[in-house]
Amino acid sequence: MIRAILPLVLALAGPAAVPQQATPAPAAPTPPPIEKPVLVHAFPHDPTAFTEGLLIADGTLYESTGREGESFIRQVDLATGKTLRRATVPDGLFGEGIVAWGAELRSVTWHGGRGFRWSRPALKKLGEWRYDGEGWAMTDDGHHIILSDGTPRLRFLDPATMKVVRTLDVTVNGRPLRNLNELEYIDGQVWANVWMTPYIVRIDPATGVVAGVVDLSDLVARVGLTDRDSVANGIAYDRARHRIFVTGKNWPELFEISLPRAAR
Ligand SMILES: [Ca+2]
């Protein structure tokens, strides 16, 4: 875990000191601010849920979970954390993220390029779609579906065809930032959990530059899990009520958070 965190920490720390040279190096990019969120409210969360995707659509919370044999698409009651409906990801695949589009949820799986379409809220499987490479998470900006795959490159898909229309290379301090995982589009930025770290990065969707880092360390400490896989993952935005929710894999709680106004 330490090794996984180091690249981001090093990147955030800015360029290493170098001996004075005759030719000055180009100005380094300004490091993004690191922001501690305010905890607004804690809700129960199913500790068996290996959270891969989280979203709110039409006031309803949906969650997808991973691991073979434990991969589900769920409708969840926010107040109690109870599963209201559940669909099983087919064929023992490792489920990853979900996105709501129209009257559907669409989901991806880790390996094999198999995505699925589900009705909502009934969660009946409607069909399948394909993509290249791995699938980690999705969100949408109202025009395109955005797909992460663990690399620094986000794919923007045409929701009608699910084909790639553009890509976005994400950088922090001028360096590529890999392990982009769960996504949420919030007020004109793409938020992404960085896998195996307590950080969410806020990405400018025009440039790919990380504009801010949300540090969930206090919430990680609060849940106190020691399993190295029980990382922060899952971001949902209630667009109607401007509420932001985060959780983690097997976390017993799901949190509404806010950022200090100055950070937004
Ligand atoms: Ca999300």
Pick the range with the lowest mean pLDDT from 74-83, 85-94, 177-186: 85-94
CA 18 to centroid of ligand 1, rounded, Å: 40
Mean pLDDT of the chain: 92
Amino acid at residue number 202: R
| Maximum pairwise Cα distance, the chain | 67
pLDDT at residue 119, as a whole number: 98
CA 15 to centroid of ligand 1, rounded, Å: 32
CA 11 to centroid of ligand 1, rounded, Å: 25
CA 208 to centroid of ligand 1, rounded, Å: 18
CA 192 to centroid of ligand 1, rounded, Å: 8
- Is residue 128 pLDDT above 50, yes or no? yes
pLDDT at residue 25, as a whole number: 66
CA 31 to centroid of ligand 1, rounded, Å: 25
Please state the pTM of the whole predicted model: 0.91
- Residue 5 confidence class, pLDDT cut points 50, 70, 90: very low
One-character DSSP codes across 117-183: EEETTT--EEEEEE-SS---EEEE-SS-EEEE-SSSEEEEE-TTT--EEEEEE-EETTEE---EEEE
The pLDDT > 90 percentage for the chain reads 86
Q: Where are the domains of the chain?
A: 30-263
Which of 181, 78, 193, 81 has the alpha carbon at shortest distance from 134?
181
Q: Give the separation between CA 77 and CA 93, rounded to whole angstroms.
A: 25
Taking residues 15-30, report their average pLDDT: 61
pLDDT at residue 26, as a whole number: 67
- The CATH number of 30-263, from 3.20.20.30, 3.20.20.220, 2.120.10.30, 2.170.190.11, is 2.120.10.30
pLDDT at residue 260, as a whole number: 84
CA 246 to centroid of ligand 1, rounded, Å: 9
Taking residues 71-75, report their average pLDDT: 98
CA 66 to centroid of ligand 1, rounded, Å: 14
- Residue 14 confidence class, pLDDT cut points 50, 70, 90: very low
pLDDT at residue 160, as a whole number: 98
- Is residue 206 pLDDT above 60, yes or no? yes
- Residue 114 confidence class, pLDDT cut points 50, 70, 90: very high
- Return the structure tokens found at 25: 């190096």
CA 236 to centroid of ligand 1, rounded, Å: 5
Which of 164, 237, 228, 241 has the alpha carbon at shortest distance from 200?
237
